[in-house]
Structure 1
Amino acid sequence: MKEFILIIADIVNGIHDLLNAMAKQTGLNLTDKDLHLWVFGIVGITFFLITHLIFTKLAKLSITAISFIYTFTVMFILVFAVEIQQKITGRGEMDFADAVISLWGFLLFFAAFLAIKGIIFLVKYILKRKGII
């Protein structure tokens, strides 16, 4: 897990250095805070527009899909926050495999939820076709 975080940090630092160098080469006198404002503004609005487009289409099909994506995103952040907290406090072991198995736990329980939801839907469908409900 530590190695994974260090790799991500190296990538982010490399992008940061590249953007900083590009700004200087073009003669822009941008501070680190200016770069953060522009980069996160552009990345954030781009991500929002893509997400909005996808969620608008998904809303026509299933609100469950939107709920799943939102919950999975929150779980992803929570899992990595717990792993980082374990590293900081020394309680538990910061391990990438722990993060993966945690997310698999959510996916397993979500699959069970879908199975139960499907069974209920099927039973209702059969009962309606037979005129019972």
Structure 2
Amino acid sequence: MKDAILFLVNIVNSIHDILIVLINDMLGLQMTDKDMHFWIMGFIGIGTFAVVYLFTKWLAKLPFGLHLVAFIYTLTFMFVLVFAIEIQQAITSRGNMEFIDAVVGLWGYIALFLVYAAIAAVLLIVKRFFSKGKKKRDLRL
């Protein structure tokens, strides 16, 4: 996992260097590192927001859409959490930084969510069954 993180760090550093050359040298803007972080992260953030907003707006229209939105939001949080824990283990040398630990942790969340979804589906089916029976009884009276 450490090699994967170092690989990603090298990619980010290369992009950073390209942006410095493009913005400062070619366009002559002479922005500081802080200025570049402000603008680049701002554009990445607002672009991501637009995509996420449109995606969640579409998801919310689906049956159980709000559940899907909550699932995806929580899954995103869990990704950040499990990788933060693994990186923390590498920095502090308390435990082993292993990619499989992060994967297993995410599978734990998915498995328990599926149990929740199954229980919710059974309760929904039971509720619909009893509400149909009640409507038929009300019509006979």
TM-score, scaled relative to structure 1: 0.93
Distance in 1 (CA, whole Å) between partners of 2:6 and 2:133 is 61
Distance in 1 (CA, whole Å) between partners of 2:110 and 2:48 is 24
Distance in 1 (CA, whole Å) between partners of 2:3 and 2:116 is 34
CA drift of 1:130 comes to 2.3
| Residue equivalent to 1:26 | 27
1:121 aligns with 2:127: no
Letter in 1 for 2:10: D
| Residue equivalent to 2:51 | 50
1:17 aligns with 2:20: no
Percent identity over paired residues = 45
**Higher RCO by CA contacts (8 Å cutoff, separation 6 or greater):** 1
Structure 2 counterparts to residues 1-133 of structure 1, below 5 A: 1-23=1-23, 24-61=25-62, 62-131=65-134
Letter in 1 for 2:9: A
Letter in 2 for 1:72: L
Q: What SS is found at the alignment partner of 1:116?
A: helix
CA drift of 1:58 comes to 2.1
CA drift of 1:56 comes to 1.9
Distance in 1 (CA, whole Å) between partners of 2:4 and 2:126 is 46
Q: Please identify the structure whose Cα radius of gyration is greater.
A: 2
CA drift of 1:100 comes to 0.8
Return 108-117 or 59-68, whichever deviates more: 59-68
TM-score, scaled relative to structure 2: 0.88
Distance in 2 (CA, whole Å) between partners of 1:115 and 1:45 is 36
Distance in 2 (CA, whole Å) between partners of 1:65 and 1:7 is 32
CA drift of 1:26 comes to 2.0
Q: Deviations over 1:46-84 (max 9, x none)?
A: 001111111222223321111111111111111011101
Letter in 2 for 1:76: F
Q: What SS is found at the alignment partner of 2:41?
A: helix
Moved over 4 A (4+): none
